[in-house]
Structure 1
Amino acid sequence: MAFATQKAGEAMPVYDAIVIGSGYGGGVAASRLARMGLHVAVLEQGRHWRPGDFPTTAKARRKTTRLTGRAPKIGDPAGLYYLSVGKGLTVFGASGLGGGSLINAGVVLRPNLDRLRKAGWPHAVVGDGLLLRGLDLAETMLGVAPAPNPERFAKFAGMRKAAEASGLSVQLPPMTISHRPGLNVSGVMQPGCRYCGDCWSGCNVGAKNTVGITYIADAVDHGATVFCESRAQSISKTETGWEVVVKDPSQRGVERRIEAPIVVLAAGTLGTNELLLRAQQRGLELSAKLGEKFSANGDDLVIASNLEVPVNAVATGYPSQGPRDASPVGPHSMALIDLGDEDGPLWVHDGTMLTMMAALAPLKDLLELKVGGALQLLTQGIYGDRLSRSQILYVVAHDDASGRLRLQNDQVVVDWPNYSTAPERLRAERKVKEMIESMGGVFNANPFAMTAFGGNRIIAHPLGGCAMGETVEQGVVAPDGRVFDPTKGPTGVHDGLYVCDGAAVPSAVGVSPLLTITALAERAMILLAKQLQRKLDVGEMLPHPVRDAAM
């Protein structure tokens, strides 16, 4: 049984709560508010993508990609992928029911609370036990588990060899992937993973435990209404709460105004900052810290090439585009190496090249005047010997969160020109280079940082801008998730206005942040339920009607 979504024009004028965004934070808020018995509207700019809908060709992926930020605003406004081009950084993300969960690697790691404490997180957040409760709930709802029998995948063997060359051991993190068919916690029937490696561009199998088929499905079961292709354009304060102006991106000039006493901003780090920056520009009193403390979570991407043994790390997709005799690639990212030390965290994740990315390899060689290498790649194809001996590695480390977000032509733009030369990033790159060379491979820096590709580093974990703090002088959001109101003193808040996504994170997390973001939203909803004196029964998930993952 599939649940229906609606368009912005079908929204009622008033709800008990409006949730803007449907990713990890928005999904939690929608589920928990609905479980409190509130009449909830969920606004999602993108479409409702189902297994089989995700693009599989380079042409189809280009068609559903849009550019924002400093770049000319082109592409489908409700498209699945977006690239927000900033100064020094480009953010890669997704729009669609489920937000970033649709296209991420799904690696789940718990944050180190001592590190968060030292990074200046509010004492209550790291010390009252509710974040730990949120972590437990998030892991249950997202059905996390490591890949079984990892030895069958060549790229796991490659990661193990890389770790051993540095005197370390490879780790198997839990992932938001269903490895066997069955019902998930929200009553959705899912097939098991086919290990095609294409998690990063959208799972056409239906095995990925996205927010759409976990938290959002639970929200709908408890009465929430979901509006897709419904972009929240602005928020403003009213006498009784908040007004949100919503537009259908496909219908220019058509807008809808809806109100609620509770509004949860969970439009992704960039989207949430954009809404608050616009509101501030139009007179809403907010912290002077808005737009500051932007972090890339220490993100980078490098490539290990000329490996001694093939790792077969080019995705085949589903249905398969690879050779008939191709072995399963494995999940997009399934193994970790911990290179962290007293100077800070440093995790190295394996990755899988999408066919579109693999096809750019000859162009990279040509730009570097390696004509012979380019011809070799063209002759062998993307599943040939040379690319089979190349491994994408994702770096998740630390940064000083000194980036800024600002409005330019009424849209949010990242401003961090010195990210590439930051000491923390250079340190991480040096350590990863040493690891690759110790196993006999060749280190290749982030290819997208080449001038020919725009010069920016592309990152996937934008955090901050609406950072939590103890007071309005320290942050934008209070420890309970409500937005500070400077007119009410150092700890005064705007009643009913919450930030429940990565925008509230006040520093680099040091690990892949999806679990931390989800847990923070769980914590905020627990506190909101207490404030409203509403029952929030999430200790034992109630039975749900059986649905198919193709919803």
Structure 2
Amino acid sequence: MTQHDYDYVIVGSGFGGSVSACRLSEKGYKVAVLEQGRRWTQDNLPRSNWRIRDYLWRPFLGLRGFLSLRLFRHVMILHGNAVGGGSITYAQTLLVPPQKVWHNGNWAGLDDWDAQMPGHYATAQRMLGVTENRRPGPADARLKQMADATGVGDSFYYTRVGVFFGKDGDAPGTEYPDPYFDGEGPTRKSCLGCGGCMVGCRHGAKNTLDQNYLYLAEKRGTTVQAETRVVDVRPLNDKADGSDGYEILTEPTFARFFRKRSRVTARNVVFAASSLGTQELLFKLKTGGSLPNISDDLGRRVRTNAESILGVRYPGTGDDMSKGVAIGSGIYIDEHTHIEAVRYPEGSNLLAGLFTILTGGRPGFTRVFVWLWTMFGLLLRHPLRGFKAILPYRASSESVIFLVMQTLDGHLDMRWTRPWYWPFAKTLSTHGKRIPTFIPEANAFTEKAAKATGGIGLSTITEILFNVPMTAHCMGGCAMGATPEQGVIDAQNRVFNYRNLYVVDGSMLAANLGVNPSLTITALAERAMSFIPDKAAA
């Protein structure tokens, strides 16, 4: 019988990877988590996103942060790289999607989702400490004002978030013993409402994965190896289906030239490197011959929640829009369209450079001329306010950012190709029909809301110049299906055509959720792990 270094090796430590590590270690398995990002603590997180080296992720350029911005032909995707995955930089908004999502896409009919998922959502909510936002700020009050002015005030709500707020009456920032896991977890401090969630919480209030699932996994013996990039996974002993397990080759993430490879073996491998990361790795393994029988469905039906990012800016306002939690409230402007109020902390204005004046018109090159005309008109009528509205200075304190999401289905495909500008290596590229870059309902709401509240509407520059939307919610590409022709994994997250191989991350999703996907990924990971027996019974 083949001896392995580990029972399970998990590639990635985001929501799927951390849940898997926690539950597998509970079941008695020897587990290792390989994470290409850094381990962040309250002491080494950046104080603002202007500390680019510690905020943005581009190792080749010496940027070792936790947020990656990847521009494709059809979309710009934001995603995280860190021990704890995207939880380090996400806005910890944890919402249950509408039931109809389980009856759309290729996972429809694979299970009695309506009966199965509520229990897994309940477990995920308990583990992530989900509660209603108790630190509303000026941006939330402004969103309520906008909703009332546009006739959708009844849909306003405070978000369900993974934040520790402490006890009523105690001062923000009060330290408490572990409030979630009967003393097994770390001590916590209550939220200050500083707005710094997406630059990394330096106060111990945000329920990142290294404070719950991953923390408990390590306490139970899981090995977490940071700054380690997986470069190959191949079956052992010429067993092409992986029935004897796998060898996994790794390199140091930040090594540029002398990349010494290391090798471990495992009976089972779980890919949990995020939708983009898992797709990229599986394409390499499929085309490189290590795992050639991965379904040809790989990379198909990648979804983005049909998102648009807009906003309203109030140059010179005395209200500090940066205060609160990253996403503190939301509204529904129609049955398909959901808007959340987003903020960055005071001084973290780096991404303000992605915003420009709200622009209508049709998507395409003509929209550039509409944008120039709109800009000219604003500067002519209100030169000082117009100029301030496009400057990064004080942007986080003066802006309410809108994250717009729709449940309407739409997708693109990822392929593994050689780009024209770098023919020496293959990379992910997007193909297919364009997903929406302009949501008329959302633009109309933003225009009315800005006028009603005395602000200036904002669009993102990528939409205007490149006809490319921006999203932090890349989903699918290794979706569930009934057969290899309809998906990459089956209803229990097992990779078709292989044994002991799983995908448990955002790439498994098979429909637009219309809400932030982290809670659903967590709940589906809980479901996936429920099918694996205890080691003693295996």
State the TM-score, normalized to the length of structure 2: 0.82
Give the structure 2 partner of residue 274 of structure 1: 280
Write the distance in 1 (CA, Å) between the matches of 2:48 and 2:317: 28
Compare 303-312 and 497-506 and name the one that shifted more: 303-312
Tell me the alpha carbon deviations over residues 111-133 of structure 1, each in whole angstroms, 9 at most, x when there is no partner: 22223213442424453743222
Write the distance in 2 (CA, Å) between the matches of 1:219 and 1:263: 17
| Deviation for aligned residue 1:270 | 0.5
The secondary structure found in structure 1 opposite 2:327 is coil
Report how many aligned residue pairs link the two structures. Answer: 485
Aligned in 2, Cα 1:219/1:149: closer, same or farther, shift over 3 Å? closer
1:102 aligns with 2:88: yes
Write the distance in 2 (CA, Å) between the matches of 1:340 and 1:43: 42
| Deviation for aligned residue 1:278 | 1.3
Compare 159-168 and 521-530 and name the one that shifted more: 159-168
Aligned in 2, Cα 1:37/1:431: closer, same or farther, shift over 3 Å? same
Give the structure 1 partner of residue 210 of structure 2: 212
Give the structure 1 partner of residue 420 of structure 2: none
1:458 aligns with 2:470: yes
Tell me the alpha carbon deviations over residues 5-51 of structure 1, each in whole angstroms, 9 at most, x when there is no partner: xxxxxxx9721100111111100000011111000000110111001
Write the distance in 2 (CA, Å) between the matches of 1:358 and 1:27: 30
Give the structure 2 partner of residue 449 of structure 1: 463
Pick aligned residue for 1:296 from 293, 304, 315: 304
Give the structure 2 partner of residue 377 of structure 1: 388
Q: Is the 8 A contact 1:64 1:76 kept in 2?
A: no
Aligned in 2, Cα 1:421/1:33: closer, same or farther, shift over 3 Å? same
1:136 aligns with 2:148: no
Aligned in 2, Cα 1:149/1:24: closer, same or farther, shift over 3 Å? closer
1:189 aligns with 2:174: no
1:338 aligns with 2:341: no
Write the distance in 1 (CA, Å) between the matches of 2:329 and 2:521: 21
| Deviation for aligned residue 1:134 | 1.5
Pick aligned residue for 1:245 from 237, 249, 262: 249
The secondary structure found in structure 2 opposite 1:470 is coil
Write the distance in 1 (CA, Å) between the matches of 2:16 and 2:340: 24
Q: Which residue identity is paired with 1:196?
A: C
| Deviation for aligned residue 1:310 | 5.7
Write the distance in 1 (CA, Å) between the matches of 2:477 and 2:390: 47
Tell me the alpha carbon deviations over residues 130-180 of structure 1, each in whole angstroms, 9 at most, x when there is no partner: 322221111011111122263xx2222112112222233310121011112
Q: Is the 8 A contact 2:355 2:459 kept in 1?
A: no
| Deviation for aligned residue 1:286 | 1.8
Give the structure 2 partner of residue 468 of structure 1: 480
Write the distance in 2 (CA, Å) between the matches of 1:380 and 1:246: 43
Pick aligned residue for 1:224 from 222, 225, 230: 222
RMSD across aligned positions (CA) = 3.1
Write the distance in 2 (CA, Å) between the matches of 1:362 and 1:501: 28
The secondary structure found in structure 1 opposite 2:29 is coil
Give the structure 2 partner of residue 522 of structure 1: 526
| Deviation for aligned residue 1:297 | 1.3
Write the distance in 2 (CA, Å) between the matches of 1:89 and 1:272: 18
Give the structure 1 partner of residue 143 of structure 2: 159
1:395 aligns with 2:404: yes
Tell me the alpha carbon deviations over residues 294-336 of structure 1, each in whole angstroms, 9 at most, x when there is no partner: 001122210123599765223xxxxxxxxxxxxxx11111101
Compare 38-47 and 120-129 and name the one that shifted more: 120-129
1:497 aligns with 2:501: yes
The secondary structure found in structure 2 opposite 1:295 is coil
Q: Is the 8 A contact 2:91 2:197 kept in 1?
A: yes
Pick aligned residue for 2:30 from 20, 36, 39: 39
Q: Is the 8 A contact 2:274 2:507 kept in 1?
A: yes
| Deviation for aligned residue 1:59 | 4.5
Q: Which residue identity is paired with 2:6?
A: Y
Compare 349-358 and 109-118 and name the one that shifted more: 349-358
**Which stretches in structure 2 are left out of the alignment for 5+ residues?**
167-174, 358-370, 418-424
| Deviation for aligned residue 1:189 | 0.6
Aligned in 2, Cα 1:59/1:109: closer, same or farther, shift over 3 Å? closer
Give the structure 2 partner of residue 413 of structure 1: 429
Write the distance in 2 (CA, Å) between the matches of 1:115 and 1:439: 35
Q: Is the 8 A contact 1:18 1:263 kept in 2?
A: yes
| Deviation for aligned residue 1:257 | 1.7
Aligned in 2, Cα 1:50/1:123: closer, same or farther, shift over 3 Å? same
The secondary structure found in structure 1 opposite 2:79 is strand
Q: Where does 1:404-443 land on structure 2 (aligned, <5 Å)? A: 404-408=413-417, 409-415=425-431, 418-421=434-437, 425-434=439-448, 436-437=450-451, 441-443=455-457
Write the distance in 1 (CA, Å) between the matches of 2:279 and 2:355: 36
Q: Is the 8 A contact 1:462 1:502 kept in 2?
A: yes
The secondary structure found in structure 2 opposite 1:92 is strand
Percent of residue pairs bearing the same amino acid type = 27
Tell me the alpha carbon deviations over residues 353-372 of structure 1, each in whole angstroms, 9 at most, x when there is no partner: 45343784699579845493
Give the structure 2 partner of residue 481 of structure 1: 493
State the TM-score, normalized to the length of structure 1: 0.80
Aligned in 2, Cα 1:53/1:416: closer, same or farther, shift over 3 Å? farther
The secondary structure found in structure 1 opposite 2:101 is helix
Aligned in 2, Cα 1:33/1:334: closer, same or farther, shift over 3 Å? same
The secondary structure found in structure 2 opposite 1:349 is strand
Tell me the alpha carbon deviations over residues 368-395 of structure 1, each in whole angstroms, 9 at most, x when there is no partner: 4549347863999944xx9755311111
The secondary structure found in structure 2 opposite 1:508 is coil
Write the distance in 1 (CA, Å) between the matches of 2:390 and 2:495: 57
The secondary structure found in structure 2 opposite 1:111 is coil
Q: Where does 1:285-324 land on structure 2 (aligned, <5 Å)? A: 285-306=293-314, 311-314=319-322
Tell me the alpha carbon deviations over residues 503-531 of structure 1, each in whole angstroms, 9 at most, x when there is no partner: 0101211111110000000000001227x
Q: Which residue identity is paired with 2:276?
A: L
Q: Is the 8 A contact 2:410 2:435 kept in 1?
A: no
Write the distance in 1 (CA, Å) between the matches of 2:42 and 2:431: 36
The secondary structure found in structure 2 opposite 1:335 is strand
Write the distance in 2 (CA, Å) between the matches of 1:529 and 1:340: 44
